[in-house]
């Protein structure tokens, strides 16, 4: 291994004492490849096993905590105890290759396709349709229904129950999915949350649901985990909508999350070096720099976003973050970490090879999505 890459592959200890063998994490990515009953397929298990050898930690695709939270076709479920054997299969496939297995837990809210949820009824913080990306965007007569306070409490509880299932299935941790426009973000966003009860209104009240989910998850860990168990939280720093989440609002949330005793925070970015859209004074300073300042070493931050080469990774680490997640690049080249460890960084592949689906162990639904979405992956 080249000396300049030693930092990438040095070990790192999380706040709860769990040691990661290096600084590279597999980012959570939807793969559309589970069975229609919510159980994981062999193709999915093999896909994860193929990518779990080099990285220190794998964050799975998101799994839904309640039946009305299923956000994707081919998404696996964790909403009932019947799903524990399926979840166990996934956890084992990752851990057997030497990586920590972290289950990303989620509720899709207003982004759920109606055909995937009971009675086709989409729910959210309020009855405001999504502006882009959701079914409610394209269908003017489809509006989400505002959740009642009781239902909100039930979903908070469901996040805790899903955490218990993750523990029973042998996962090393969970990541709370508070990013990418899904339900937790919908409660934090002034675009989707127009409530007038304790879950909405002021910025502080819009933080009530996200922070309650964290408490529910941590309580489940306290009650059910016999050994240290990782709890992370993923967030998106800004929304393009007006009104929408601004960078300064996210810094208030991140400040609160930094005092919650989490094991890491994980920012969701398309570009690691991106700068804020609005809400802060200096729009030339990167979002990562703003986040690091606010966190002030209270909790580790995982950075992510269009990291393909070893040089990309070194530049990202130069910003001072302790951990780096790779998403698309680990689909393109599952041996990324091993190549760096063996001093073969020149052999890293950074564009998808359209002739190597089998060799790359990519399930058909994910492969078809990659090949039919120009611009999503380099080389397509």
pLDDT computed for residue 142 by the predictor:
82
| pLDDT per position as a tens digit, 54-64 | 999 999 999 99
pLDDT computed for residue 134 by the predictor:
67
Neighbours of 355 (CB within 10 A): 8
CA distance 321 to 302: 7
pLDDT computed for residue 246 by the predictor:
98
Of 377, 323, 307, 310, the closest CA to residue 58 belongs to 323
Mean pLDDT of 96-118: 97
- Say yes or no to pLDDT of 6 above 70: yes
Output the six-digit token pair for 127: 């009855």
| pLDDT per position as a tens digit, 269-319 | 999 999 999 999 999 999 999 999 999 999 999 999 999 999 999 999 999
| pLDDT per position as a tens digit, 174-192 | 999 999 999 999 999 999 9
Question: Active-site residue 290, yes or no?
Answer: no
Say if 322 falls within a structural domain.
Answer: yes
Q: What is the CATH number of the domain that holds 109?
A: 3.20.20.70
Mean pLDDT of 144-148: 97
Output the six-digit token pair for 115: 């055909």
Of 22, 27, 19, 25, the closest CA to residue 8 belongs to 22
Say if 303 falls within a structural domain.
Answer: yes
Confidence of residue 132 (pLDDT cuts 50, 70, 90): confident
SS3 350: coil
CB 63 within 8 A of CB 78: yes
Longest dimension (CA), the chain: 59
Strand partners, 103: 174
Percent of the chain past pLDDT 70, that is, above it, reads 98
Output the six-digit token pair for 322: 């302790």
Output the six-digit token pair for 253: 């949330």
Catalytic residue from among 182, 264, 290, 308: 182
CA distance 171 to 239: 31
- Say yes or no to pLDDT of 65 above 80: yes
CA distance 53 to 93: 10
CB 121 within 8 A of CB 145: yes
Confidence of residue 340 (pLDDT cuts 50, 70, 90): very high
State how far Cα 127 lies from the chain centre: 25
**Which residues does 361 contact at the CB level (< 8 Å), separation at least 6?**
46, 47, 49, 50, 334
Say if 333 falls within a structural domain.
Answer: yes
CB 50 within 8 A of CB 132: no
DSSP state of 132: S
CB 288 within 8 A of CB 305: no
Domain containing residue 81:
3-371
Say if 164 falls within a structural domain.
Answer: yes
pLDDT computed for residue 39 by the predictor:
98
CA distance 70 to 362: 22
More confident residue, 142 or 76: 76
- Say yes or no to pLDDT of 138 above 70: no
Strand partners, 61: none
Mean pLDDT of 112-130: 96
- Say yes or no to pLDDT of 16 above 70: yes
H or E segment to which residue 176 belongs:
strand 173-178
SS (H, E, C) 16-69: CCCEECCCEEECCCCCCCCCCCCCCCHHHHHHHHHCCCCCCEEEEEEEECCHHH
CB 258 within 8 A of CB 293: no
pLDDT computed for residue 140 by the predictor:
66
Look at the chain and report how many structural domains it folds into: 1
Q: What pTM was computed for the model?
A: 0.98
Q: How many residues does the chain have?
A: 380
Of 118, 37, 48, 130, the closest CA to residue 363 belongs to 48
Say if 378 falls within a structural domain.
Answer: no
Say if 379 falls within a structural domain.
Answer: no
Confidence of residue 361 (pLDDT cuts 50, 70, 90): very high
Say if 304 falls within a structural domain.
Answer: yes
């Amino acid at each position: 291994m080249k000396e300049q890459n030693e930092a990438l592959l040095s070990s790192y200890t999380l706040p709860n004492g769990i040691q990661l063998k290096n600084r590279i994490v597999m980012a959570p990515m939807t793969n559309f490849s589970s069975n229609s009953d919510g159980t994981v397929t062999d193709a999915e298990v093999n896909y994860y096993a193929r990518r779990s050898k080099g990285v220190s930690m794998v964050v799975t695709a998101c799994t839904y905590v309640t039946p009305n939270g299923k956000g994707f076709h081919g998404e696996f479920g964790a909403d009932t105890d019947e799903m524990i054997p399926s979840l166990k299969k996934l956890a084992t496939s990752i851990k057997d290759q030497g990586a920590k297995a972290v289950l990303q837990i989620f509720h899709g809210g207003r982004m759920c396709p109606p055909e995937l949820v009971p009675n086709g009824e989409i729910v959210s913080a309020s009855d405001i349709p999504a502006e882009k990306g959701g079914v409610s965007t394209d269908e003017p007569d489809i509006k989400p229904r505002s959740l009642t306070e009781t239902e909100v409490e039930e979903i908070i509880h469901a996040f805790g129950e899903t955490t218990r299932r993750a523990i029973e299935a042998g996962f090393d941790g969970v990541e709370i999915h508070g990013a990418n426009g899904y339900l937790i973000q919908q409660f934090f966003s002034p675009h989707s949350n127009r409530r007038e009860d304790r879950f909405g209104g002021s910025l502080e009240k819009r933080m009530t649901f996200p922070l309650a989910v964290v408490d529910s998850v941590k309580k489940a860990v306290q009650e059910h985990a016999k050994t240290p168990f990782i709890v992370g939280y993923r967030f998106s720093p800004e929304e393009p909508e007006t009104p929408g989440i601004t960078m300064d609002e996210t810094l208030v949330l991140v400040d609160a999350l930094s005092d919650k005793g989490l094991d890491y925070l994980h920012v969701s970015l398309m570009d690691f070096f991106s700068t804020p859209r609005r809400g802060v004074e200096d729009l030339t300073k990167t979002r990562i720099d703003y986040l690091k300042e606010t966190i002030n070493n209270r909790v580790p931050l995982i950075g992510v976003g269009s990291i393909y080469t070893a040089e990309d990774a070194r530049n990202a680490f130069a910003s001072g973050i302790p951990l780096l997640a790779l998403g698309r690049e680990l689909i393109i080249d599952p041996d990324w970490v091993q190549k760096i460890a063996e001093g073969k960084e020149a052999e890293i592949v950074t564009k998808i090879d359209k002739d190597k689906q089998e060799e790359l162990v990519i399930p058909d639904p994910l492969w078809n999505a990659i090949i039919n979405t120009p611009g999503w992956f380099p080389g397509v």
